[in-house]
Amino acid sequence: MAGHSPVGEIAVLCSDRGLREVTVRPQRATARVRSRLVPAAAKARSVQPPANGGAALARQALSEIGEYLAGRRRQFTVPLDLEGTPFQVKVWKALLEIPYGETRSYGAIARRIGRPQAARAVGSANRSNPIPLIVPCHRVIAGDGSLGGYAGGLGMKTRLLRLEQGNGNRPGNSRQ
């Protein structure tokens, strides 16, 4: 299921257990987003047809993302179906613990999951995050305070961080 947002077309894919994938692309890439839906659905093990509730989860996800981008939502309630390596899932769960408007370094996430030497691997797991925005990989920055990377581009990362920091949060709420 896809919808429009202030940041472009957003497509979501749900399994029987929850949200599996969020794809965010600028408006000019709408055709590419739609073309990804079929391959993503084919690789998912158990995508529900709309009659079984998958469409309701997709609508919920799109609604919550829209509210987030409008500055009206700080936490997501849509169930997630995280699928990745055990390390990736551990990283993504740690990202879910970063409060709205705050940031953490790659090293801090590595320490949080008990792998203090794995900051680069945390970055790799972030790049593989199938549920950006909701699993907030945009809140992870480099140890020196620079933005680091972001699969959606640094412009998008900056925009998301400013949205959160300008919505009742002080800039600098960062823990290294």
Active site residues per annotation:
137
Contact present, 79 and 18 (Cβ < 8 Å): yes
Report the side by side order of strands in the sheet with 140-141.
Answer: 140-141, 103-105, 174-175
Residue 31 token pair:
């055709």
- 């412009």: which residue's tokens? 155
The Cα–Cα gap between 126 and 14 comes to 20
Report the distance separating Cα 95 and Cα 134, nearest Å.
9
By three-state DSSP, how is residue 48 classified?
A: coil
